[in-house]
Amino acid sequence: MDKRKYNGGHSTKGFAGRPKKSEEMALIEKLNPLEDEGLKQLREGVERGEFRYVQLFFQYYYGKPTERREVNISQEQPIFNFEY
């Protein structure tokens, strides 16, 4: 035995990972009757030109844009500072 249970770390029992498929399906079933109203409100918000509605529409239609960050390092800094 490699005694992995003594390594520490976090437990994956119960709360880790995605929600259960049955929970997702139950939520979808609850929201199904509101789908038409939700789309109507989205349409009205986009027609009014409100930014949040337009942003939400494009994120669902084209997907969320990838986030990129440009990092410029002007001078190297030591990771460890050894002073005697």
Q: What pLDDT digit, counting tens, does each position of 28-59 carry?
A: 898 888 889 988 999 999 999 999 988 888 88
Provide the number of structural domains found in the chain. Answer: 1
Q: Domain span at residue 53?
A: 19-62
Q: Decide if 1 is inside a domain.
A: no
Question: Are 46 and 58 within 8 A, CB to CB?
Answer: no
The residues, ordered by sequence, that sit 6+ positions from 56 with a Cβ below 8 Å of its Cβ are 42
Residue 47's pLDDT is 92
Reduced DSSP (H G I as helix, E B as strand, rest coil) percent helix, strand, coil of the chain, to 5: 50, 0, 50
Whole-prediction pTM: 0.48
Q: Please give the share of the chain, as a percent, with pLDDT higher than 70.
A: 83
What's the pLDDT tens digit per position in 66-75?
889 888 878 8
Q: Decide if 11 is inside a domain.
A: no
Residue 40's pLDDT is 92
Which residue type sits at 42? Answer: L
Q: Decide if 68 is inside a domain.
A: no
The residues, ordered by sequence, that sit 6+ positions from 17 with a Cβ below 8 Å of its Cβ are none
